[in-house]
Structure 1
Amino acid sequence: MNIKSMLSKVNAWLHLWLGIASGIIVFVISITGCILVFEHEIKSLLNAKLNVEPQEESKLLPPSVLYKSVAEAVPGKEIHSFWYHGLGKSVAVSMDSDSTVYVNPYTAEIVAYMGHEDIFHEVNDLHRNLMLGRDIGKPIIGWATFIFFFLLISGMILWWPKKWNKTNRDKSFKIKWSAKFKRINYDLHNVLGFYTLLIALLMTITGLVMSFSWFSRSLYWVTGGEGAPRRRPPKEVMAPSVNAALVDADKIWYKVRKEIALYNKNEVIVHLAEKPDELIYACTDMHAGYWRDLYFEPATLELSKRSGKRLGDLKFPDQVRKLNYSLHVGAYGGLATKIIYFICSLVCASLPITGFYIWWGKKKKKKSPKKVLAVS
């Protein structure tokens, strides 16, 4: 047996048994991923009451007015932030509660109270932690994703035709729907696995970035970055503000929309200052899964050097890192890429099932007794 043949057998053996070992978890990750791809679209359809009649942006009410309305409706709760979703959406107001309050941005009328733990919260917890908690579930998801990354590579090696003749090309690129179920199942595993390979690799790599800090640092280095990727800065003691937190929130809200936002300027998150001597957080330029973090110095309300840059101003490694979530969920290209990601996630969910059936069929074939010819 030559080295090439031996390596091929080792690859096939690892592909089989690692696939069986991780199959259930990969199926769960992929199915929940299918659902989460369209989370915002489904929520928008199911919660039409959160939509409002869009008006001129000059009629949008500042955070201080919305604060007063929410404080009167829900007394005794500490309010943290205001998320303006645009001219046709209500504002999400977060506070010390198990619910988020949604407010009409033009009238300050309370539109709805919605709990944090809806069905998507459960699906997301299953996708990220198998509902086992962060300490237990996240490492299991992370290593199952790492195994799936290897399976995609080893599967590509197994898929690669030994000869590029017409017969092998048809087997590698086409599903023979007229064949028996066993052959169709094999084609679904082999052919669909190939067609979804690039997107599956992209989803897997971005998932590993979120699972392991060592993988995130490695990818940052591979893409040309130096040092560690930037993270949200720790709380920093600054010269204190002389204004009330609501006054600063209003000023920052106006400033972000008029001077800083590059696009979607009416989609802004503004946090209330927790302490008068700490940086004040806001967020803008939220588009296709990307967002720009802003930090304001409390005394001057000038942008801190810790604030994130516009996407086009970032170096390539930082752009890749910043777009990791968008690349993971397919939000970077709008509805078209989300549909592609949905289909690819569905195929990824099917791979453990079709792969198991291929193995089970071979196992049954080996166990079937040989026919013994009677001797007369």
Structure 2
Amino acid sequence: MMSFSKINAWLHLWLGLVSGAIVFFISVTGCILVFEEDIKLLTRPYMHAEASANTPLLPPSVLAAAAEKRMPGLQANNIRYQGPGRAAEVSFRSDSVVYVDPYTAKVTAIVDHEDFFHEITEGHTSLWLPPKAGRMVVTYSTLVFTILLITGMIIWWPKKWNRYNIRNAFTILWKAKFKRVNYDLHNVLGFYTLPVTLIIAYSGLFMGLGWVAKSSYWIASGGQSMPAYYEPHSDTTLIAGGTPLTVIDQVWEKSIKELSSPLSEALIIGIPDSKEEAVYVYTNTEGPRYQVHYFDQVSGALLKGTGTDVTRFSEANGGDQLRRLNYSLHVGSIWGFPSKLIYFLASFVAASLPVTGFYIWWGKRKKKRTALRKECQEVVI
């Protein structure tokens, strides 16, 4: 009967061989996406907007009108205020996004949202396969990767904590032969990046597997079930006293002054397509403390919706907070640039693990074949 250590090693080997290529592509694309926003800001000057001191932001109606002039026949769908020094994004039900200076209403660019990073995101989430099938492959490959991290940790764990084993477990012997260096790169770097790669894998499973999200929410909230999402509707019996954009301007101003914390300019405001739709506003969108609010498009009255993001972050239960933190935990933006750098390095190491692991397996396989050939020759002689 096989021992636990042999079963663990066998599981680690074959799961790694089966999922290695997929884990490699997911990790490489993850490396690129970690600094997506930073690269965009560095290479796309139209995303910036300069303003003198105390220059007020222009309301949504002005930005929407400026963008719609450049997109004849289309109506703005939502407006994203990005914060101080950033151009606003006006989206339409099309492939194009219009960037508008929120202080002057000058259109700075019209771009296709299906750019390089969009393609990389498609590869990261679905391997460029049909979305439903691709996401399933990525999700279950992430689950396999999580098992690989755990089995790899068991393999790495020293049998005896003496000086020799500790040195081998925590250091890379750079002066050794390539075969040994490769082994250390796989084991040692895999250990050092384990906490981050586990967080990345877990947060990915949170997004991809309902049972992971529901069970995590239940634990974090102290036994509560994840609430269903409900978006309230506007009262269609009311008679509008002005245009919908007039109400949206009022809602925007109210959101900045009373609902954002602390007086954050970063928010997304939706423009209804029908009389039944409510105006939605996401406040504090520069981080995980975002919150959604719904307003009647005629009266501007605050409406009550349900979900994990309808209450102020500081007042939300642990499950709601975990749900809202999850994306930042996955992409590494939770502590800004320092955490992004850590995530980049961890993703790079994760991409290298299938490569170094395959080389370890190939070397052992080659060694066994050589030994078998030698044994056969001796028998013939």
State the TM bucket, normalised to the shorter chain.
Answer: over 0.9
**What does residue 358 of structure 1 align with?**
360
**What does residue 337 of structure 2 align with?**
335
Aligned with 1:288: secondary structure? coil
**What does residue 270 of structure 2 align with?**
271
CA contact (8 A) 1:193 1:351 kept: yes
**What does residue 280 of structure 1 align with?**
279
Q: 1:352 to 1:169 in 2, by over 3 A?
A: same
TM-score by length of 1: 0.93
CA-CA distance at 1:156 after TM superposition: 0.7
CA-CA distance at 1:109 after TM superposition: 1.3
Between the aligned partners of 1:226 and 1:237, the Cα distance in structure 2 is 33
CA contact (8 A) 1:57 1:87 kept: no
Alignment deviations for residues 197-245 of structure 1 (CA, whole Å, 9 cap, x no partner): 1111100000001111122112112324444424542453535462421
CA contact (8 A) 1:225 1:318 kept: no
Alignment deviations for residues 133-153 of structure 1 (CA, whole Å, 9 cap, x no partner): 221100000100000000001
Aligned with 2:334: secondary structure? helix
Alignment deviations for residues 12-40 of structure 1 (CA, whole Å, 9 cap, x no partner): 00100000000000001100000100000
Q: 1:63 to 1:56 in 2, by over 3 A?
A: farther
76-85 vs 261-270, greater mean Cα deviation: 261-270
Between the aligned partners of 2:319 and 2:284, the Cα distance in structure 1 is 19
Between the aligned partners of 1:300 and 1:229, the Cα distance in structure 2 is 31
Alignment deviations for residues 71-125 of structure 1 (CA, whole Å, 9 cap, x no partner): 2222211211111112311111111322101111122111100101100000000
Alignment deviations for residues 323-344 of structure 1 (CA, whole Å, 9 cap, x no partner): 1001011111110000000000
CA-CA distance at 1:155 after TM superposition: 0.6
Residues 70-85 of structure 1: pairs in structure 2 closer than 5 A: 70-85=67-82
Matched, 1:87 2:84: yes
Between the aligned partners of 1:234 and 1:256, the Cα distance in structure 2 is 18
Between the aligned partners of 2:223 and 2:294, the Cα distance in structure 1 is 23
Q: 1:241 to 1:134 in 2, by over 3 A?
A: farther
CA-CA distance at 1:273 after TM superposition: 2.2
**What does residue 370 of structure 1 align with?**
374
Matched, 1:313 2:315: yes
Matched, 1:55 2:52: yes
Partner AA of 1:324 in structure 2: N
Q: Percent identity?
A: 44
Between the aligned partners of 2:297 and 2:378, the Cα distance in structure 1 is 92
**What does residue 195 of structure 1 align with?**
192
Q: 1:137 to 1:363 in 2, by over 3 A?
A: same
CA contact (8 A) 2:234 2:297 kept: no
Partner AA of 1:262 in structure 2: S
Uncovered stretches (5+) of structure 1, i.e. residues with no partner: none
Partner AA of 1:297 in structure 2: D
**What does residue 33 of structure 2 align with?**
36
Between the aligned partners of 2:297 and 2:68, the Cα distance in structure 1 is 24
CA-CA distance at 1:248 after TM superposition: 1.4
Matched, 1:296 2:300: no
CA contact (8 A) 1:288 1:334 kept: no
Residues 17-166 of structure 1: pairs in structure 2 closer than 5 A: 17-56=14-53, 58-166=55-163
Matched, 1:252 2:251: yes
Q: 1:248 to 1:56 in 2, by over 3 A?
A: farther
CA-CA distance at 1:299 after TM superposition: 4.7
Partner AA of 1:95 in structure 2: F
Q: 1:226 to 1:248 in 2, by over 3 A?
A: farther
Aligned with 2:319: secondary structure? helix
Aligned length: 372
CA contact (8 A) 1:102 1:113 kept: yes
CA contact (8 A) 2:63 2:102 kept: yes
Between the aligned partners of 1:287 and 1:138, the Cα distance in structure 2 is 26
CA-CA distance at 1:255 after TM superposition: 0.6
Between the aligned partners of 2:329 and 2:103, the Cα distance in structure 1 is 34
CA contact (8 A) 1:99 1:116 kept: yes
CA-CA distance at 1:373 after TM superposition: 7.7
196-205 vs 228-237, greater mean Cα deviation: 228-237
Between the aligned partners of 1:293 and 1:133, the Cα distance in structure 2 is 31
